[in-house]
Each structure stands twice: as structure tokens, then as C-alpha cells.
Amino acid sequence: MSDYDKFVALNVKIADISNSMSVLNWDQEVNLPKNGLEKRAKQISTLAGISHELLLSKEYETLVKKLQSQTLTSIEKANVKEAAKVLTKNKKLTTDYIRELAETQTLANNAWLEARNKSDFSIFEPFLEKILNLKFKECDLIGYDRHPYDVMLDTYEPGLTTERVEIIFKDAKSPLLELLGKINKKEVPNNSFMLRQYNKAQQWDFGIYLLKQMGYDFDSGRQDLSAHPFTTSLGPNDVRITTRINEQNLYEMIWSCIHEGGHALYEQGLPADQYGLAAGEYASLGIHESQSRIWENNVGRSLSYWKANFKVLKDSFPDRLANVTLVDFYKAINIVKPSLIRTASDELTYHFHVMIRFEIEKALFEKSIKIKDLPSVWNDKYKSILDVNVPNDAQGVLQDIHWSHGSFGYFPTYSIGSFYAAQFYNKAQKDIPNLEGYIEKGDMKPLLKWLRKNIHQYGRVYNAEELCEKVTGSTLNSKYFMDYANQKYGGLYEL
């Protein structure tokens, strides 16, 4: 067995354990009875320990070192290079640190749940302080050149820096505000028909229809219900998604299906023969999100898409949508209106929710704001940027789960994902003559084929910005998103 084959075998073993953890996690979200939770947490942490031991074993380190000086193919080289990066980072985190973080995360998450239920930030505050201090420690253990927050960003978006995010957001902020200002002067379209009673079983069937049309492979995945929709890969031929159905709201199921479907198509399109290796894994969270948002927004909120699908939807709910025209529907699914909650916001104001979180996180890592002042900092920013009044902590600073997990640096990947999506979609429109024509006919194959060829097949051989440059000819630029937004909303709102 060559050194490279031994290296692959060890990586496959680590991936097997990690995918087994994913099965347990999936089961926890979808099936687990309440009393099973405690043991389940233990089972998952046992597997995490085993996988960590394998990763930090002498055998693995020696192999990675040896392979760095051997002649390998370019993909093998990329796999070894990525493995060396992961190894170096993990070696800097002490076992004590990892254990303390895991324990604090559980406590902080419970405190956050209670704080949010009672809408009282002070319950969460001491736990947030603990978890932040641990994250400051992580920055010191890992090390950084310019900004401690770079360490956080790098976890989700390898290579992304604070400075780069500032540039990307600064470029996007004023054109977005300008467009929003124009839209805000217009009347908000009617969407009351979206909030009628829509039967659960029929919603479910319509979701399955959309997923099949996108090309989601039900022989290599399945859909279930869960409180919060998510996608999880349990291996290259088992990529599962979940959705939720609200009988009084037609939006939730449809766009959660399309969004998670987009994530799942990416995972189903990763090269299965690179299982356990960087070339078989997603490039970054931003790229992952780009794959969900290209389907959710660029495709799933377009007129072409609904030219293909509105009749099927109407036939599923004839009495609910009898007098609704395609144009009414298209307007209702693209309402832009500043609001309090990130996850319920439209595709334009969404980015301000993210920018606010980024500004706050950056300030926390610069220690220029105090944790106890977070609710007032939050409320002031929402007032000054989105002109909305935050009535309480639950709908303000406590709305997202991320900080209770210590997931700082995660939020920017959402906006960056949308910007990548627009840039990729622009290129796909150039590469596929009459793409909109295919979509209007419900034929999503040309787009999926393009995504498979240009993005999915590469896994993490390239980092996000390299991949973007390879596909589109330039690094990430929010101008593509603004072009898309100005064109679409200019038409919709007759600006």
C-alpha cells in the first residue's frame, strides 16, 4: 500500500465516524424521543473524541508530512495540502480547550433558549461572556496576522479576512440602501392569499414535485420534517433534507424546500470517489450557501420559474388561488420590506441583518463594545439602518442561535453566498443560451449540469475565491448581485 493509499484509508475512517455522527444528529432533529437526548449527546461526543484522536495520531501526522515531499497528482496534492492545514489548526487547540468549549456550548445554548423564551438578554449574558472569552482564547491559540476575527472567519470561509468582508460589505451597502430607498416609496404588493389555509399534505406533495424537478435524487436522499429545515450529508449517496410546513403560510415550505434542495444538489454532486478527502467536500460555507440561494432566489423567485410551476401550484390549491394571477403571485413572492427577523426577511434587506451582525461581532473581537450593552447596540443599529423599532430582546439580539454555539464569523457567509450566487448565475446565463427558456419549460437540467461541471465537481480543490475566479473570471464582486437586484426590482416596482 502506498503512503497515499494509507492516507486515504485513514481519511475514509475519519469520514465514516464523522458521517455516523451526522446520522445521530439527523436522528436527533427528526426522530429522537425527548428522554433520549442526554445519552445521545454522550454518544456523539464519544465519536467526536475517537475522530479527533485519529486525526491527531502520530501515524496520520507522519503520513501527511511524508506525502508533502512526494510526487502526486494535482488532486492528490490538494488533498494533502488541505489535510496539513486542518492538522496544523487542530494541533493548536488543546484537548482542555475543546472539552471546555463543548461544555460551555451546551450551557450557553440552554441559557439562550431560556433567555429567548423570557425575552431577557441578562439570562444569556454571563454565558455569552464565557463563550466569547473561549473564542478569544481560540484566536490566540491559532494565531493571526491582522485581526483576531480573521480566525473566526477562516473556520467557515477558508482564507476570508475581516478586511475583505469590510470591502465587500462597503461596496454593497450604499447601492443596496439606494435601491431600498426607492422601493420604500412604492406601495407594498398584496400577499394576503399567501397566508390563507394551505393543507399540509398537499404542501408536502408540491414540495416533492419541486425537488424532483430540480434534479434532487430521492434514491440518494430523502426529505423529512423538522423544527428548523436543514441539509445533512451522510455520505455521497445519502444526502438528506428537512422542511417545515406552516398551514397558514405558503412561503415557508416552498422556499425552504428549494433552498435545502440547492444545498443537497451540491452535496449529491461532489465527487464520490474523493470521499473523506478535501476534493470530495464542499469548498466553503459561502459556496454552499451560493448553491442554495441560486435555486431559492435567482431561480425560485423568478418569473420564468413560476411560468413553469404556477399552474401546478394552482391545481394543487384551486379554491385558494382561483383569482390569483401569475403576476400577482410573482409580486407577492418578492415583497421587499424592512423587518425585525433575519430569517423572515426578503433578499435585499437580508444583507443589512447580516451587516449589523458583522459590525457587532467585529467590535466584540476588538473589545470596543461591552457585552451588557449588546441589546441597546443592536436596537440602535436596527433603528438607524432599517428604521425598525425592536420591541424586545427575543425579536432582537436573541433571535439567532449562532452565538450560543460560539459560531462567530458565520453570518457573513450568508451574504457572501448570495453574492457568489448572483455572480455564478450571471455566468451561467452567458454560458447557457436561452437558460430562462429552459426554466420556463420546467427543464432545470441545463442549469444543474452547468453547476455540476463548474462548481460541484471541484469539491475543495480550490478555495472559494479561487473557484469564483476560475468560474467567472474574477473574484467575488457584489456588483453582480446589484445588477440582478436592480434589474429584477426595477421591473417589479417600476422604478
Residues that bind Mg ion (CB under 5 A): 292
Closest distance between Mg ion and the C-beta of residue 259, in Å? 6
Cβ neighbourhood burial of 445 (10 Å; 0-12, 13-18, 19+): exposed
- Check if the beta carbon of residue 284 is closer than 8 Å to that of residue 464: yes
Q: Which is nearer to Mg ion, 256 or 379 (CB)?
A: 256
Strands 239-243 and 223-225: parallel
Cβ neighbourhood burial of 135 (10 Å; 0-12, 13-18, 19+): buried
Distance separating the N- and C-terminal Cα atoms of the chain? 66
Q: What would the grid cell of residue 166 be? A: 469590510
Q: Which residues are catalytic?
A: 260
Closest distance between Mg ion and the C-beta of residue 123, in Å? 28
Strands 239-243 and 231-233: antiparallel
- Check if the beta carbon of residue 300 is closer than 8 Å to that of residue 218: no
Closest distance between Mg ion and the C-beta of residue 401, in Å? 13
Q: Which is nearer to Mg ion, 229 or 375 (CB)?
A: 229
What is d(CA 295, CA 305) in angstroms, rounded to the nearest whole number? 10
Nearest to 385 by CA among 181, 186, 182: 181
Q: Which is nearer to Mg ion, 130 or 357 (CB)?
A: 357
- Using only the alpha carbons of the chain, give its radius of gyration: 23
Closest distance between Mg ion and the C-beta of residue 414, in Å? 7
Q: Which is nearer to Mg ion, 11 or 292 (CB)?
A: 292
Closest distance between Mg ion and the C-beta of residue 197, in Å? 28
Residue in the structure block whose three cell numbers are 452535496: 267
Closest distance between Mg ion and the C-beta of residue 467, in Å? 18
Q: Which is nearer to Mg ion, 292 or 415 (CB)?
A: 292
- Check if the beta carbon of residue 225 is closer than 8 Å to that of residue 243: yes
Q: Which is nearer to Mg ion, 330 or 410 (CB)?
A: 410
Closest distance between Mg ion and the C-beta of residue 408, in Å? 18
Task: List % helix, strand, coil for the chain (3-state, nearest 5).
Answer: 70, 5, 30
Q: Which is nearer to Mg ion, 79 or 233 (CB)?
A: 233
Closest distance between Mg ion and the C-beta of residue 289, in Å? 5
Q: In what order do the strands lie in the sheet with 223-225?
A: 223-225, 239-243, 231-233
Angle between helices 3-30 and 74-92 (to 10 degrees): 60
Residue in the structure block whose three cell numbers are 475519519: 14
Q: Which is nearer to Mg ion, 127 or 282 (CB)?
A: 282
Cβ neighbourhood burial of 443 (10 Å; 0-12, 13-18, 19+): middle
Phi and psi angles of residue 243, each rounded to the nearest 5 degrees, phi first? -140, 170
Count of CB atoms situated within 10 Å of the CB of 164: 18
**DSSP 8-state class, residue 409:** T
Q: What would the grid cell of residue 400 be? A: 439567532
Instruction: Using CA atoms of 327, 333, 334, 339 in order, give the dihedral in degrees to the nearest 10.
Output: 140
What is d(CA 261, CA 240) in angstroms, rounded to the nearest whole number? 9
Closest distance between Mg ion and the C-beta of residue 410, in Å? 11
The amino acid that residue 424 corresponds to is: F
Residue in the structure block whose three cell numbers are 478535501: 278
What is d(CA 145, CA 188) in angstroms, rounded to the nearest whole number? 47
The residues with which 233 forms a beta bridge, in sequence order, are: 239
